[in-house]
Amino acid sequence: EMPKIFVTGGAGYIGSHVVKLLGERGYEVLTYDNLSTGHEWAILYGNLVKADLGDKETLRKVFEEFKPDAVIHFAAYIVVPESVKEPLKYYRNNVINTINLLEVMREFGVKSFIFSSSAAVYGIPKEIPVPETAPLNPINPYGETKATVERILRDLSNSGTDFHYVSLRYFNVAGADPEGKIGFAYPDPTHLIIRAVKTAKGEFERLEIYGTDYSTPDGTCIRDYIHVTDLAEAHILALEYLLDGGESEILNCGYGHGYSVREVVETVKKVTGKDFPVVEAPRRPGDPPVLVAKADKIKRVLGWRPRYDDLEFIIKTAWDWECRGL
Ligand code: UDP
């Protein structure tokens, strides 16, 4: 009997890539997703319960029937500027609904939890590459919701129950399933690689570079881009670690090196073979100049060995996904 894994947000970008790996490895999977931004076609294994984490009665019923051994929790709102305009929406979904889930886990004795955290908990870090020990210092409500849940998880794991968790702090997740079955599919994407690839495809007239006067070698911001399938693999390892009785851990998910916006744009042009207009625009408020993970802890604790640490490959899979069906 393979373990049964309850996945919230399994219809979304990262969740669907994890569901795919879980299914391929023989786990029993159930996705719980309200489909507010996810898609049923993205769930390649197991069933979908289309419901909201605000609906605790449905959550209880599903736990009663499915009897999960572990929970992987992706369901959350993720758009930083929207979190500034609608903080209550973000705190309710990302914090209160996570509390609902943790309460139902406790009622049913489910002890293992994997949480989708974010490098946004660091705000503008003083130390680069940023280690997991850096202070939580988010600079927007989205990051606050992730930091708040991390504090709740810390306190819960210290409360004398045998609840244990792994919090994975994602850096800049990009690319798509190398087999081309799933990929990023949100309306109005704001992320650099997606926007650049869609601009190469002609969906946008031009790409704006937000800020060219940062104190970096070419003046543009540097980020640690990680392939979504490598990130998905980290979740599988975290799951095996917890099911084997591992202690609670907080782990950065990045490669430990970064690329500037200009380097990403040049690589998109090279990989796609398309030239497109690029214009210099003002800084985007709240962007740290450099955000790169200290990436050794996850390798040590989980034995994670990334396979796709290659910007051209990341962009190629994103491009192939955008061009699917053509
Ligand atoms: N960026 C940009 N043009 C875009 C989108 C993003 O110059 O159309 C920059 C953004 O200012 C940041 C970097 O690209 O410096 C990565 O931004 P993204 O939104 O992809 O991820 P973030 O690091 O904000 O989570």
Q: Which atom of ligand 1 is nearest to the CA of 291?
A: 23
- Helices and strands, counts by H and E, the chain: 11, 14
- Asked if residue 24 is part of any domain, the answer here is yes
Q: Containing domain of residue 282, as a range? A: 192-224+256-322
310 and 249, same domain (yes or no): no
Long-range contacts of 179-182 (CB under 8 A, 24+ apart): 180/317, 180/320, 180/321, 180/324, 181/20, 181/44, 182/16, 182/17, 182/20, 182/42, 182/44
Nearest by Cα to 16 from 35, 49, 38, 47: 38
- Asked if residue 183 is part of any domain, the answer here is no
135 and 18, same domain (yes or no): yes
Query: What six digits make up the tokens of 122?
Result: 């660091």
Specify the 3-state DSSP secondary structure of 311.
helix
Measured by CA distance, the residue closest to atom 24 of ligand 1 is 287
Total domain count, the chain = 2
- Asked if residue 184 is part of any domain, the answer here is no
- Asked if residue 187 is part of any domain, the answer here is no
- Asked if residue 185 is part of any domain, the answer here is no
267 and 299, same domain (yes or no): yes
Q: Is 198 in the pocket of ligand 1 (CB under 6 A)?
A: no
44 and 56, same domain (yes or no): yes
- Asked if residue 182 is part of any domain, the answer here is no
Q: Is 318 in the pocket of ligand 1 (CB under 6 A)?
A: no
Q: Which atom of ligand 1 is nearest to the CA of 196?
A: 8
- Asked if residue 186 is part of any domain, the answer here is no
220 and 314, same domain (yes or no): yes
Q: What is the value of ipTM here, to two decimals?
A: 0.99
Q: What is the domain-level CATH number for residue 90? A: 3.40.50.720
Alpha helices in the chain (DSSP H): 13-24, 56-66, 80-85, 87-90, 97-107, 141-157, 192-201, 228-243, 261-272, 296-302, 311-322
Q: Is 261 in the pocket of ligand 1 (CB under 6 A)?
A: yes
132 and 214, same domain (yes or no): no
248 and 269, same domain (yes or no): no
79 and 201, same domain (yes or no): no
Q: Is 55 in the pocket of ligand 1 (CB under 6 A)?
A: no
155 CA to centre of own chain: 23
295 and 230, same domain (yes or no): no
Q: What is the domain-level CATH number for residue 282? A: 3.90.25.10
**pLDDT tens per residue, the chain (326 residues)?**
899 999 999 999 999 999 999 999 999 999 999 999 999 999 999 999 999 999 999 999 999 999 999 999 999 999 999 999 999 999 999 999 999 999 999 999 999 999 999 999 999 999 999 999 999 999 999 999 999 999 999 999 999 999 999 999 999 999 999 999 999 999 889 999 999 999 999 999 999 999 999 999 999 999 999 999 999 999 999 999 999 999 999 999 999 999 999 999 999 999 999 999 999 999 998 889 999 999 999 999 999 999 999 999 999 999 999 999 65
Among candidate residues 45, 77, 90, 142, the one labeled active-site is 142
114 and 130, same domain (yes or no): yes
142 is catalytic: yes
217 and 148, same domain (yes or no): no
- Asked if residue 180 is part of any domain, the answer here is no
Pairwise CA distance, residues 117 & 11, whole Å: 18
Specify the 3-state DSSP secondary structure of 25.
coil
Query: What six digits make up the tokens of 212?
Result: 């060219």
Pairwise CA distance, residues 114 & 302, whole Å: 13
What is the torsion angle, in degrees rounded to the nearest 10, for the CA atoms of residue 19, residue 25, residue 26 and residue 28? Answer: -30
103 and 76, same domain (yes or no): yes
